[in-house]
Amino acid sequence: MHLSLQPKHRVPPPLRGESHLKKGFTLIEIVIVLLVIGVITAGVIASLTINDSERTLTTQSSEIELLAKKARTVAILNQKPYAIEFHPGSVKLVPFTQAGNSERTTAQGNEIGGISSESSRHTGIQETINIDPDIQLTIRHWNTEKFLIPDEKNVPVWRFDPDGLCEPITVRLVMEKSYAQDTYHPLTATIADSELEAY
């Protein structure tokens, strides 16, 4: 008789109700997982495509706010008033003495008829941001109801004083059926109230 030296491994008997069959995914579980993946994918695609206009309006709104903050800072640092001019297709930061005078200047910004050498050395900080051609920009001055549409004859001006104050204007950007409307705070030149409707 040959005795085995290796101990025998015994498999414990199954508990009541248990089976030795390995469970897999049911068809219902697979369908539910696929539905969840489909909903998440649709949401991501929708957020990327539906609000292209929202992204454009938000970007332009942020650029105008950044230019307003810069105008306020420059006016305080230089102790001279600065202005933002609203042109068709662009928004410009210029010294207030040059604001609204674009039709009386040469292409380099010099007055027609010449300027003194002293003033030509101190033209001040100037900066321009372009507005998307699909966006119509309008502004409303404080205490008025009518929005103004900038054109070459009517260039609305937003003044920034050396004491840090500015007019609390409202800037409205319209792109097809979507729009962004921002009202600026007179003490900080930041957006105090904002509306955004994007389709």
The tens digit of pLDDT for each residue in 2-13 reads: 555 555 666 566
Q: Using DSSP, state whether 22 is helix, strand or coil.
A: coil
In a domain, residue 36? The reply is no
User: Tens of pLDDT along 129-167?
Assistant: 999 999 999 999 988 999 999 998 889 999 999 999 999
Residue 187 has pLDDT above 90, yes or no: yes
The torsion angle over the Cα atoms of residues 180, 164, 74 and 116, rounded to 10 degrees, is 110
Q: What is the CATH number of the domain that holds 88?
A: 3.55.40.10
Q: 């100037």: which residue's tokens?
A: 126
Higher-confidence residue: 195 or 100?
195
Q: Evaluate whether residue 26 is within a structural domain.
A: no
The model's pTM is 0.66
What domain range includes position 59? Answer: 54-109+121-197
Tell me if 170 is assigned to some domain. Answer: yes
Question: pLDDT tens across 28-83, in order?
Answer: 888 899 999 999 988 887 766 657 888 899 999 999 999 999 999 999 999 999 99
Q: How far apart are CA 133 and CA 131, in angstroms?
A: 6
